[in-house]
Amino acid sequence: MFLLQRTWTEMELLPLVCFCLLTCSGTTFGDEVTKMKVKEDEDVTLPCSLDSTNITSETFDWKKDDQKEVFMYQNGKLYNKGLSGQDPQFKGRVFHFEDQLQSGNASIVIRNTKVTDSGRYSCIFPHHQPTTRSIIELIVDCILKDRTKENKPGLCRKPSVTILDETNDWALLECEVEGVFPKPKVQWLDSDNNTVSAEKPQVTESEGKYNIILNATVTKSDVYRCVSTQEEICHQLDRKIKITLQGAPPEPNNVSGPNTGLIVGLVIALIAVVAVVVYYKCFRGRGGGY
């Protein structure tokens, strides 16, 4: 009986102990997580404030995933301005609102966001309880762009384009793309980003490497782009080619335009009639005078 009573008492104390530990660490069950989503390369503002308290002489610390030091303000000192320890990922990219510290604004701005910036951010006032004042779940969606400089594995190289054949009325274009997994999607686009009808891609695969050839016949002068896209890694490249088709000379339009020959004929006939009338009147006038 004593053993059962002791076990029950321990079970009652366990939640209380957990609550105390969480409270002492600055985290409570009431902490709310704000979810934010932005596009890669955009700026994002992570909100945090301490009511309307003047925090000019306070300390607040931003961390990512409870490990990486994002930004710290300590009585006027900042990372790279009296403080050290900022994670290299955020150097030169994080700023605070200095002119709003008196109103308690501890928010920060992350410039030029990257996919690797995705994660959980916490704003902490270590000299206040509870210490955690703001938790942000940030998601940075990648955009399709040239990632050649990132040196990631699997990135395709820039497409190669050429004119296989050409007449006054059409041109046969060829695009060749080389890459590895993931397999790239290749397409031709015109200057208005409309997809150009093309032949079935010629795909060769060997030891995980792809060679794709896509041919398309165009019938108008324009600037065309061959686009290679690897959506899984948000990598996209293109190559442009300008096509100028001579075409056949335009035929005369006998419907909408005036007929020059007909007009000239009518003018000559009118002149002839006037000449006859004048001559007739003159001749009859002289004949009546004798």
pLDDT given for residue 241 in this prediction? 97
pLDDT of residue 289: 41
Q: What does the pLDDT read at residue 150?
A: 87
178 and 114 in a single domain? The answer is no
Say whether both 111 and 164 belong to one domain.
no
pTM strictly above 0.75? no
Q: Is the sign of the CA dihedral 157, 228, 176, 201 positive or negative?
A: positive
Domain count across the chain: 2
Confidence of residue 163 (pLDDT cuts 50, 70, 90): very high
Going by pLDDT thresholds of 50, 70 and 90, the confidence category of residue 249 is very low
Q: Is 61 exposed, middle or buried (0-12, 13-18, 19+ CB in 10 A)?
A: middle
| 290 has a pLDDT exceeding 80 | no
Closest CA to 121 of 87, 92, 84, 97: 87
The mean pLDDT of 182-208, rounded to a whole number, is 94
> Are residues 124 and 153 both part of a single domain?
no
Name the DSSP class of 226.
E
**Rounded CA separation 78/96 (Å):** 10
CATH code of the domain covering residue 183: 2.60.40.10
**Residue 12 domain flag:** no
Task: Give the SS3 label for residue 107.
Answer: coil
Mean pLDDT of the chain: 82
Q: Is the pLDDT of residue 263 over 70?
A: no
Q: Is residue 182 reached through a cis peptide bond, with omega within 30 degrees of 0 on the bond before it?
A: yes
Give yes or no: residues 123 and 185 share one domain.
Answer: no
Q: Is 239 contained in some domain?
A: yes
Is the pLDDT at 287 greater than 60? The verdict is no
Distances (CA, A) of 101 to 6, 64, 197, 198: 52, 22, 58, 59
At 82 the pLDDT is 78
Which 3 state secondary structure label does DSSP give 4?
Answer: helix
Note whether 218 and 236 are same-domain residues.
yes
User: At 266, is the pLDDT very low, low, confident or very high (cuts 50, 70, 90)?
Assistant: low
Report pLDDT for 80: 73
Looking at residue 38, its pLDDT comes to 97
Section 111-117 average pLDDT: 96
What is the maximal distance between C-alpha atoms in the chain? 166
126 and 173 in one domain? no
Sorted by sequence, the CB contacts under 8 Å of residue 28 that are 6+ apart come out as 22, 130, 132
Residue 70 resides in a domain? yes
Q: Is 188 a member of any domain? A: yes
pLDDT of residue 278: 55
Displacement of CA 82 from its chain's centroid (Å)? 37
**DSSP notation for 268-285:** HHHHHHHHHHHHHHHHHH
Q: Strand ranges (DSSP E) for the chain?
A: 33-39, 44-46, 59-64, 68-74, 77-79, 82-83, 94-96, 108-110, 119-124, 132-141, 160-166, 171-180, 185-189, 202-206, 209-218, 222-230, 235-243
- 111 three-class SS: coil
Distance CA 27, CA 228 (A): 47
> Does residue 114 register a pLDDT over 50?
yes
Whole domain around residue 209: which residue ranges? 148-243
- Mean of the pLDDT values across residues 170-184? 93
Q: What is d(CA 149, CA 171) in angstroms, rounded to the nearest whole number? A: 34
What's the rounded mean pLDDT across residues 191-196? 96
Least-confidence region, from 12-21, 200-209, 265-274:
12-21
pLDDT given for residue 153 in this prediction: 83
pLDDT beyond 70 at 99: yes
Q: Tell whether 290 is covered by a domain.
A: no
Q: Are residues 38 and 135 in the same domain?
A: yes
Task: Please tell me whether residues 124 and 35 are part of one structural domain.
Answer: yes
> Could you read off the pLDDT of 27-54 as tens digits, one per residue?
443 468 999 999 999 999 999 998 888 9
Q: Cα separation of 109 and 98, whole Å? A: 12
The answer as to whether 265 is a domain residue is no
| Same domain flag for 90 and 172 | no
Does any domain span residue 198? yes
Residue 189 has pLDDT above 60, yes or no: yes
pLDDT band at residue 12 using 50, 70 and 90 as cut-offs: very low
Of 106, 185, 102, 114, give the one whose Cα is nearest residue 143.
114
Q: Which residue has the tokens 């060769």?
A: 204
pLDDT given for residue 52 in this prediction: 81
In a domain, 289, yes or no: no
**Residues 156, 136 within the same domain:** no
34 & 126 share domain: yes
Q: Residue 75 pLDDT more than 60?
A: yes
